[in-house]
Amino acid sequence: MTVFQSLAAARFAALAALAVLAFAAPAAPASEIPDERIDVDATRAAQKIFHVSVTMPASAGAFTFVYPKWIPGYHGPVGPIEDVVDMHVFAGATALAWRRDLVDAYAVHTTVPSGAASVRVDFDVVGADSQNGQIHPISTSQLAILEYSNFALYPQGATAEGVRVEAGLTLPAGWTFGTALPIAATHGDTVTFAPASLYTLIDSPIVAGAHEKAFALADRTELDVSADSAAALAVSPKYLAGMRRLVSEAPALYGGKHYRDYHFLLTLSDLVASDGLEHHESSDNRAGERYALDDKIYRTEADLLPHEYSHSWNGKYRRPADLAVADYQAPEKTDLLWVYEGLNQFNGEKLATRARISSFQDQLDRLAITAADMDLESGRDWRPIRDTADGAPFLYVAPGAFYEQRRSAGDFYDEGDLIWLDADVTIRRLTHDAKSLDDFCRLWGNGSDTTSVPSVNPYDEADVIRLLASVVPYDWAGFFKERIDTVQPHAPLGGITGGGYRLVYTDKPSELERLSDEQHHTIDARYSLGASFGSEDDPSGGEGKIGNVLSASPAFAAGLAPGDRVIAIDGRKFSSDVLHDALVAHMGASKPMQFIVASDDRYRIVDVPVFTGERFPHLMRDATQPDELAKVYAPRTFTPGPEPSAEPE
């Protein structure tokens, strides 16, 4: 028996014990709608089609059932109703006529004959191209990510907590799976989960595949990896060691844990778009196939799992009251996403660095890129951060092009990161390092461990202000009004300058920036000529294609736009080396660079007057100030070894 098989056996034993506990739980109150059943047949996952059968309680007469519309974590009305096909409605053996609501496409009306006590709906859910966004069922020939929000129907008017569901799942032969859902029984390739509320079911995704393995991290915490190859399961000991430090660092930050078991679900595939989605007792993390093997790959997205884990406290347990809606049909109000996601961006990066999944130098380089990106956005002269949060339902699904003029949903994450760092450094300054934002997080995390089914502890903005004032009295309302509600010409860099650093530009990219460009097949020249490009090794053929153009830049002045393709520079075929050489050659000169540009089906010659040479952001230590950032990102549960210095040259 290998060590991995023994871990898997230990996991099964732990889940079986939980299943017993779940069955022994008190019966649901009589007011609950009992015994909905959802069966998913995923045996054709490789074909990207899933057969579903839902049986719901119903009584004679008009009956309306709904498909989830507002999906937690997506913060928008994005439930993929278009994926539901071949739908048939029955009462017993009798097929029932149905009609979609003319206003709410997620509601379906039917009439239940007398004597019937339930309605069964059989349908298929078709998957999407696995690169096409995570809201759809995602599968490859080797793995699948299954979310019950894709497969659930429920009676209109029922609440997520009020519907008790027994769910079954059949997988392709030989596939195994990981999930936070307690298991009631397994028969061959079919598993039946212990009855759970619809809320818990939809909050508990499943990763499954032909190559799937569990790694124990700590008591009640494991990493479930599903990959496109067996080779990708050889998670590096260095990464595992970082993850084991993470599951100590996060409780050290927040205090008590608010989950029964926690499962980091990690899908490793180059065919699936990288992303992460938070849940209370698990997280759905998606990265490239070799992510967990190679620190050159995971260090550029080192905060992926720490960010989603942090959400178990901040976002799932503590949640804006406006986001804690009772079902999946009522709209969310998203104005506090600058706390939900902004604080979480800061804490996720902080935990990744404290666990040393990210080095401190990489975190400084990450902050430099964030600060420069936010500082250079032209959209900040019309749209305050509050409006990026208010507009999240449409900004999350906005195209990437023109993000800089539009400001994106990413801004309440990234500018939120800078603002919460500023709050942390402010507390440290006001208390002479006696206190920090850690004290706020510990009050926020609220208390001791719980092993019960997760609950939500909602808050509003006044609660945030009050809690900060309890750490240290200060005009916190004014602090956030200035940074969240007011248009500001520059990014909030107080956390960086107060932390003992300055944002500077040099002609060398940081190692993190270089690795990021390498992995994403991009050339980031936004800080010099004002545009980013696809590199010559882009497998999707994006060579020379412009991703974005900054408004206040030579590229914009020259008339370049997202989607244009640069064919040649100064008469030579476009490549990253040719661009680099041209930026250096024109430095301090007066003659502009000459681009041959393709726009749609037209070609033209464009002069681009850029004389700065290459420019890349860095944080430079300011020796006149104490190094507060070293304290912010210092581990709390262990003493880290020395790391190589990479000060900008």
**46's tokens:** 């490789």
CB of 344 to Zn ion, least distance (A): 5
Provide the CA 428 distance to its chain's centre, in angstroms.
29
Dihedral angle sign, alpha carbons of residues 431, 432, 437, 441: negative
Could you tell me which residues come within 8 angstroms of residue 393 by beta carbon, excluding any fewer than 6 positions away?
75, 76, 77, 331, 332, 334
Chain position carrying tokens 């976002």:
315
The secondary element (H helix, E strand) that includes residue 514 is: helix 511-520
Q: How many whole angstroms separate alpha carbon 148 and alpha carbon 162?
A: 16
Q: Which is nearer to Zn ion, 55 or 344 (CB)?
A: 344
CA distance 572 to 596: 9
Closest CB to Zn ion among residues 212, 341? 341
Per CB under 5 A, the segment of 8-16, 170-178, 221-229, 334-342 that binds Zn ion is 334-342
**From CA 441, how far away is CA 357, in angstroms rounded?**
21
State the nearest-atom distance from the C-beta of 25 to Zn ion, in Å.
Answer: 30
Is the Cβ–Cβ distance between 510 and 432 less than 8 Å?
no
Tell me the three state secondary structure of residue 539: coil
Binding span for Zn ion by CB under 5 A among 102-110, 232-240, 337-345, 614-622: 337-345
Torsion of CA 394, 396, 399, 400, to 10 degrees: 140
Count other C-beta atoms under 10 Å from residue 134's C-beta. 21
- Nearest to Zn ion of 289, 303 (CB atom): 303
Residues 389-418 interacting with Zn ion (rule: CB under 5 A): none
Q: Give the pairing type, strands 138-139 and 143-146.
A: antiparallel
> Minimum distance between the CB of residue 316 and Zn ion, rounded to whole angstroms?
10
The binding track of 343-362 with respect to Zn ion, each residue x by CB under 5 A or -, is: -x------------------
| Choice between 226 and 285, CB closer to Zn ion | 285
Single out the segment in contact with Zn ion by CB under 5 A; choices: 336-344, 418-426, 444-452, 525-533: 336-344
Which of 5, 367, 56 has its CA nearest to residue 176? Answer: 5
Shorter beta-carbon distance to Zn ion: residue 243 or 343: 343
Query: Taking the C-alpha atoms of 630, 632, 638 and 643 in order, what is their torsion angle to the nearest 10 degrees?
Result: -30
Q: Minimum distance between the CB of residue 340 and Zn ion, rounded to whole angstroms?
A: 7
Q: Measured from the CB of residue 412, what is the shortest distance to Zn ion in angstroms? A: 10
Cβ proximity to Zn ion: between 149 and 344 the closer is: 344
Number of residues that bind Zn ion (CB under 5 A): 2
Transcribe 386-430 into DSSP letters.
HHHHHTHHHHTTS-STTHHHH--THHHHHHHHHHHHHHHHHHHHH
- For Zn ion, which is the closer residue by CB, 275 or 622? 275
* Residue (193 or 264) nearer to Zn ion, CB: 264
Q: Is 90 helix (H, G, I), strand (E, B) or coil?
A: strand
Closest approach of Zn ion to the CB of residue 325, in Å: 18
Least CB distance from residue 277 to Zn ion, whole Å?
Answer: 8
Question: CB under 5 A: which stretch of 122-130, 157-165, 339-347, 586-594 binds Zn ion?
Answer: 339-347
Nearer to Zn ion, 414 or 543 (CB): 414
Residue 536: φ, ψ to 5°: -70, -15
Q: How far is the CB of 458 from Zn ion (least distance, A)?
A: 18
Q: Can you list the alpha helix ranges (DSSP code H) found in 320-475?
A: 337-340, 342-354, 360-376, 385-390, 392-395, 403-406, 410-430, 437-445, 461-471
For residues 637 and 248, the answer to whether their CB atoms sit within 8 Å is: yes
Q: Which is nearer to Zn ion, 39 or 341 (CB)?
A: 341
N residues, the chain: 649
Q: How far is the CB of 424 from Zn ion (least distance, A)?
A: 18
The residue among 344 and 426 lying less far from Zn ion, judged by its C-beta, is 344
Closest approach, Cβ 373 to Zn ion, in A, equals 18
Q: b/e for 76-90, b at 16 or more Cβ within 10 A?
A: bbbbbeebbeeeebb
Residue 431 neighbours by CB distance under 10 Å: 13
Q: How far is the CB of 436 from Zn ion (least distance, A)?
A: 22
The nearer residue to Zn ion, 341 or 564, going by C-beta atoms, is 341
Candidate segments 122-130, 338-346, 353-361, 425-433, binder of Zn ion by CB under 5 A: 338-346
Q: How far is the CB of 341 from Zn ion (least distance, A)?
A: 5
Only segment of 113-121, 129-137, 341-349, 546-554 that touches Zn ion (CB under 5 A) = 341-349
Q: CB nearer to Zn ion: give 348 or 544.
A: 348
Helices 342-354 & 360-376, crossing angle to 10 degrees?
160
Both structure tokens of 436: 């920090």
Residue 276: CB minimum distance to Zn ion, A: 7
Least distance in Å: CB of 487 to Zn ion?
A: 25
Q: List the structure tokens of 579.
A: 């661009």
The nearest distance, CB 295 to Zn ion, in angstroms, is 23
Q: Which stretch binds Zn ion (CB under 5 A): 55-63, 153-161, 342-350, 487-495?
A: 342-350
Name the nearest CA neighbour of 347 among 313, 390, 296. Answer: 313
**Could you say which residues in the range 535-594 bind Zn ion, by CB under 5 A?**
none
Binding-residue pattern over the window 294 to 333 for Zn ion, x denoting contact by CB under 5 A? ----------------------------------------
Q: State the angle between helix axes of 360-376 and 511-520 in degrees (0 to 180), rounded to the nearest 10.
A: 70
- Please say which residue, 75 or 164, places its beta carbon nearer to Zn ion: 75
Of residues 267 and 344, the one with the C-beta less far from Zn ion: 344
3-state secondary structure of 148: helix
CB nearer Zn ion, residue 276 or residue 500:
276
Task: Find the shortest distance in angstroms from Cβ 303 to Zn ion.
Answer: 10
How far apart CA 469 and CA 465 sit, in angstroms, is 6
In Å, what is the CA distance from 115 to each residue of 108, 234, 235?
Answer: 21, 57, 56
Stretch of 189-197, 340-348, 395-403, 539-547 contacting Zn ion, by CB under 5 A: 340-348
Residues of this chain that interact with Zn ion (CB under 5 A) are 341, 344
